[in-house]
Structures are given as C-alpha cells and as structure tokens.
C-alpha cells in the first residue's frame, strides 16, 4: 500500500486528488504545510507527495512552485482535479454572514461571497475550516470546502457548486524520490538565464528549432537575487528520448541554472 503525503486535513482537495490518482487503497498522510508534505516523502516516511501548483481560476500556487525549486523529489505524474466547492455550516444560507476557508477557495467563490455579502476569514486549509466552524458552533458561521469534508466532520452542506466557474480545476504534481517507468509524454524543467537582452529568446529558439511544443511557461522571482527570475516550463516529450536529451543539453549551455523536475504521463481533465 502506497503512503502519500499531502497538505491539509482529512477531506482536503489534495487528499481527494491523491485518491483520484492512486485509487482508494492508499494510506494518506496529512501535513500542516506543503514543505512538510515534501519532507515526509524526502525522508522516506511516504512514497509520494501530492503538491498543488496551479488553478484554472486563480492561477499559480506560488508556494508550490517555489518549493519545486528546492525539493530533491522527482515529478512522476500530474492530476487535473475538478474542484467542487460547498458552503458548509449548521445554519441556513440566510443566516450565514461569515465564511472561513483557504484563500484560494475564497477567491474561486468570489461571486457567491459577494452576492451574499459574506465576511471572509482565511484559514490554512479548506477541510481544516470545517473543523474550525464545528468548534465555533454558531449558525451564522460557515465555511467553503468539499462535500467529502462535510461528510467526514459531520457538518451539513448548505449549498453545492458555489465556485465562480464549473470549469474549476486544480493541477497537482505527484512527486517521488525515484523516477518511475511507464509512459512519459510531458516534461517539467526550471531554469534561469543571464539578465541580458535575448537570453530568454535564445532558449525559446532552441525549442522551436527542435519542433518541441511548450505547454506552459511562467516566471517566478529568484528569492536569492532581487530582480532575477526563474522560468518554469512544461513541454511535450520525455527526457528519456534522445532528441529531448539533446535539446536539454543545448538549453543547459545557455542557462545559469537548469533543473529537470521529471517526465511523466500527461493527465486528462475529467
């Protein structure tokens, strides 16, 4: 049985994503932070870690991306998990005036919150917010979390599907100490270039000349050097392929730093 670490309480979307990827027969390990979830797997206490990196409505999960820079783990899979938010609480919708949840969830339900003039209180986790309001035990206080979290902590669901857009997906990376076999058709890398004209263009030119399709490119500040940036890139292909290895070597020659996060099978949105 695989052990899978994730950030949050039981019923968190990260745990749901892990179950979607691996199936029900896993042992999930709740962690208080993203960093702790990765450390559990790095230290051998878990076989895999599940880390959210971006959401289709709210964009990148900055902390997740920043941790990819320092982790020793390898990306071995990805998940696009359909997030369905619920308003949870012991009162009625008319009585609720305050909602607790993770900032990402609050942002994803902005229209519902504004329409009902709800005061928002950010918390560390969606499922954790259910535990918080259960302890508060007031009819005017609710939270935003999953239906499964509502069932786990036995707090009623008041409304379902309250996210701003039904196409609300969070992308998770599955990370492990060891690369796995099987089909691999997508690769993730991180690199930085000299702060000079044409440096990034030279990298993109290599992708173009090799006919490799980029599926994502994003910059994040380099926290050790002000006004310098790291670039996070996903592209079609596996670094096991000779053509891709050759491309990566050409890119390496043009970069200050290059980290290959891993190659894995592309996930489908379901």
In the chain, the domains with their CATH numbers are: 2-82+168-176 (3.40.190.10), 86-160 (3.40.190.10), 186-264 (3.30.70.260)
User: What are the phi and psi torsion angles at 81 (to 5°)?
Assistant: -105, 125
| Per-residue pLDDT band at 261 (split at 50, 70, 90) | very high
For residue 77, is pLDDT > 70? yes
User: What average pLDDT does the segment 166-194 reach?
Assistant: 92
Q: Identify each DSSP E strand in 184-256 by its residue range.
A: 186-192, 214-221, 229-236
The first and second tokens of residue 36, run together, are: 């702790």
What percent of the chain is modeled with pLDDT above 90?
Answer: 86
The pLDDT value given to residue 198: 84
| Per-residue pLDDT band at 178 (split at 50, 70, 90) | confident
Q: How many whole angstroms separate alpha carbon 21 and alpha carbon 197?
A: 42
Rounded to the nearest angstrom, the gap between the alpha carbon of residue 142 and the centroid of all alpha carbons in its chain is 25
Q: What pLDDT, in 10s, does the model give residues 113-134?
A: 999 999 999 999 999 999 999 9
Q: How many whole angstroms separate alpha carbon 132 and alpha carbon 99?
A: 11
Say which residue, 116 or 180, is predicted with more confidence.
116
Q: What pLDDT, in 10s, does the model give residues 228-239?
A: 889 999 999 998
The secondary structure of residue 197, as a DSSP letter, is T
The pLDDT value given to residue 196: 80
For residue 143, is pLDDT > 80? yes
Helical (H) or strand (E) element with 248: helix 242-254
Burial of 126 (0-12, 13-18, 19+ CB in 10 A): buried
For residue 270, is pLDDT > 70? no
* 22, 34, 172, 235: the active-site residue: 172
For residue 74, is pLDDT > 90? yes
Strand order in the sheet with 119-122: 119-122, 98-101, 141-145, 86-89, 157-160
Q: What pLDDT, in 10s, does the model give residues 187-229?
A: 999 999 987 888 899 999 999 999 999 999 999 988 777 778 8
The pLDDT value given to residue 149: 96
* 28, 74, 123, 170: the active-site residue: 170
Q: Do 174 and 78 meet the contact criterion of CB atoms below 8 Å apart?
A: yes
Least confident of 85-99, 100-114, 188-202: 188-202
Burial of 266 (0-12, 13-18, 19+ CB in 10 A): middle
Tokens 């230290």 locate to 43
Q: How many whole angstroms separate alpha carbon 1 and alpha carbon 243?
A: 36
Say which residue, 91 or 269, is predicted with more confidence.
91
Least confident of 3-7, 196-200, 252-256: 196-200
For residue 71, is pLDDT > 90? yes
Q: How many whole angstroms separate alpha carbon 205 and alpha carbon 242?
A: 19
The closest alpha carbon to 143, from 134, 157, 130, 152, belongs to: 130
Tell me, yes or no, if 172 is annotated catalytic: yes
């Amino acid at each position: 049985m695989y052990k899978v670490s994730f950030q949050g309480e039981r019923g968190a979307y990260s745990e749901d994503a892990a179950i979607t990827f691996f199936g029900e027969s896993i042992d999930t390990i709740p962690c208080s932070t993203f960093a702790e979830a990765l450390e559990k797997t790095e230290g051998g206490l878990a076989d895999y870690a599940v880390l959210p990196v971006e959401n289709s409505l709210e964009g990148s999960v900055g902390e997740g991306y920043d941790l990819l820079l320092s982790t020793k783990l390898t990306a071995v899979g990805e998940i696009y998990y359909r997030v369905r938010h619920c308003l949870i609480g012991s009162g009625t919708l008319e009585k609720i005036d305050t909602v607790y949840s993770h900032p990402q969830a609050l942002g994803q339900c902005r229209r519902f919150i504004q329409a009902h003039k709800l005061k928002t209180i950010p918390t560390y986790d969606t499922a954790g917010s259910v535990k918080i309001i259960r302890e508060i035990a007031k009819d005017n206080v609710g939270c935003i979390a999953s239906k499964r979290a509502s069932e786990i902590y036995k707090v009623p669901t008041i409304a379902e599907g309250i996210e701003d857009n039904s196409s609300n997906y969070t992308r998770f990376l599955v990370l492990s100490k060891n690369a796995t076999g099987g089909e691999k058709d997508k690769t993730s890398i991180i690199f930085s270039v000299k702060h000079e004209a044409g440096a990034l263009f030279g990298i993109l030119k290599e992708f173009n000349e090799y006919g490799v399709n980029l599926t994502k490119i994003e910059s994040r500040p380099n926290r050790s050097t002000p006004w310098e940036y790291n670039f996070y890139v996903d592209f079609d292909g596996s670094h096991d392929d000779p053509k891709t290895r050759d491309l990566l070597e050409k890119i390496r020659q043009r970069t200050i730093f290059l980290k290959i996060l891993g190659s894995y099978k592309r996930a489908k949105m379901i």
